[in-house]
Structure 1
């Protein structure tokens, strides 16, 4: 039995040297401290890498019959007051919404871009109509008299709108349009413009179409809730027209990609990513047209599935062994080279002194 144990000990790859045969040096201690510190740093880095989940992207044909496409907007117009702006939407199904007021809000901005009180569009744009209807709710038996009163009231309302818009422009008011709308999942567009006003009002306020300054800053435009690892290309986008520059129509062509996100914990999220290209058409190239900001969207037939996954523990152990073993081997070589270099200089100095 003793012979078998002795024979087995011969294959020991880590023989031990006697304590009196080893030599400890200051350089070896310094290299050991540096090696241990490097091992700890690399271990922490590998642990963080292992604990951080990663995502896998898979592309498939979109076969789900989603009903609505959610659109969230937050856009600032520094040169146009809220009283002149309106939001319209049109899609390929034939649905056309003018001056959308449901879930859309406006905030009046002063010349410094500071917001005032948020007001919903229907409360903001139709306050005068409500007051007018209440004031003229009395029944009348004379149709012509009522019609004449209505015409005079409409003219008075238009003149008041002209005065209000001129005053807002003189005060350099701007407007922030914010909110969300749900549209059909077909190609379409939504746009913010001065189309909601009558030509009489616009003709009294603006000298020509080229003076309607549609400069804008897009805080955010999204087609669903945010998910990790994605960004919206239009977020933070700014287009400012200089005073002497001719105005026109901005068009953003958007390709919407349906996306499903499956996190490690919690329910999956259905959202949409998108890509965008931009086109600007000066007013001189569109006779009779009014400047506006258009967002024209189309849906991709390809859907993206994003799945969050945990890293393999076996791979983590392999990387740890490689990092620690490699660091130990490299520091051992550095210590050996350092010791030989010190010994060489010491022997040369001793020979020179003799």
Structure 2
């Protein structure tokens, strides 16, 4: 029964076979086969690379987040004793916030460690793809690790760290000395030293493993009365990987400026002036499914072989016609 069905199915064979005795191999056919095989190899590798390495799509949209608060994550060590430092925020809404007691202050010894001058190092997350950023954000890492801080009163530096909730408007977070901008106690100029190392400065939910432009940077003061100014432009950013894992965070760009204060022409300290952009960035991974990859690969291989076969037949016929007239 099965053999009868198979015999009747022969008439539907779309892949007729040619006997080996009827086949003719030519040097031209061998050369075309080699060329097509090499081209196919490179095209297959290219298709596989496109399937394996996902593309990133960038979209710029108006920020529709209606949150009224913005979290600032700070971890900075200043080469001035803690008793003389104060942290304050003034925003565009006219609200002034005294944040010294919202952050932790620990006496320590100032060390440069592996920090670099701003702009001298490219160790940030701009080179990471979406999946790496999402994985780094979701990794379990303790926030604001102790970093071997000491609490002896004889230490001359102060580590200031923690999270601040401020209004989501343009603002100025600054670290100054008592009596130099705020406070009734006038700190002696000889005690001022705003040399500082920034281990963390970010906006939004704190992800310790994500590296920001100011992270691991250091500035050395040239005088007792010196002002360090950082101008930050914050861009709300959404990362979406190929598995639809969403990460909401904030990127920022920074420019810095410092100047020595002469007389009473300014206030010495460290100033972070931030502005929030109305445009948000959406970065999503674009990839194809394995089924789509197989369909494209099959079409590529089959199409090139068929096209090469037709081209070879046309060339052979033209060559045969020319030989008749030669």
The TM-score normalised by the length of structure 2 is 0.59
Offset, 1:68:
1.2
Structure 1 residue aligned with 2:97 = 97
Q: Distance in 2 between matches of 1:281 and 1:70?
A: 29
**CA drift at 1:188:** 0.7
Partner of 2:218: 238
Q: Distance in 2 between matches of 1:176 and 1:320?
A: 61
Q: Secondary structure of the residue that 1:202 maps to in structure 2?
A: coil
Task: Find the counterpart in structure 2 of residue 69 from structure 1.
Answer: 70
Alignment of 1:1-354 (within 5 A): 47=48, 49-77=50-78, 79-102=79-102, 104-110=103-109, 115=147, 167-169=154-156, 174-195=157-178, 198=183, 200-203=185-188, 206-207=189-190, 212-225=192-205, 232-242=212-222, 245=223, 247-265=225-243, 268-284=246-262, 287=264, 289-311=266-288, 314=292, 318=296
Match of 2:239, SS state, is: strand
Superposed CA deviations along residues 40-78 of structure 1, whole A, max 9, x for unmatched, are: x9978865652444332111122331221111111122x
Once the two structures are TM-superposed, the CA of residue 251 in structure 1 deviates from its matched residue by 0.9
Aligned residues: 249
The question of whether the paired residues in 2 share the 8 Å contact of 1:257 and 1:299 is answered with: yes
State TM-score, norm by structure 1. 0.55
Unaligned residue ranges in structure 1 (runs of 5+): 22-34, 125-163, 327-354
Shift of 1:15: 8.8
The RMSD of aligned alpha carbons is 4.5
Kept in 1: contact 2:74–2:201 (CA 8 A): yes
SS in 2 for 1:296: strand
**CA separation in 1, counterparts of 2:165 and 2:205?**
13
Does the 8 Å contact 2:92/2:169 carry over to 1?
A: yes
Equivalent pair of 2:75/2:159 in contact (CA under 8 Å): yes
Asked whether the 8 Å contact 1:107–1:116 carries over to 2, the reply is: no
Cα distance in 2, alignment partners of residues 9 and 201 from structure 1:
95
Pair 186,315 (structure 1): closer, same or farther in 2 beyond 3 Å: same
Q: How has the CA–CA distance of structure 1 residues 264 and 90 changed in structure 2, closer, same or farther, with 3 Å as cutoff?
A: same
8 Å CA contact 2:69–2:168 kept in 1: the answer is: yes
Q: CA deviation at 1:265?
A: 3.5
Gap change, CA 1:302 and 1:200, over 3 Å in 2: closer
- Assess if the C-alpha contact under 8 Å between 2:178 and 2:185 holds in 1: no
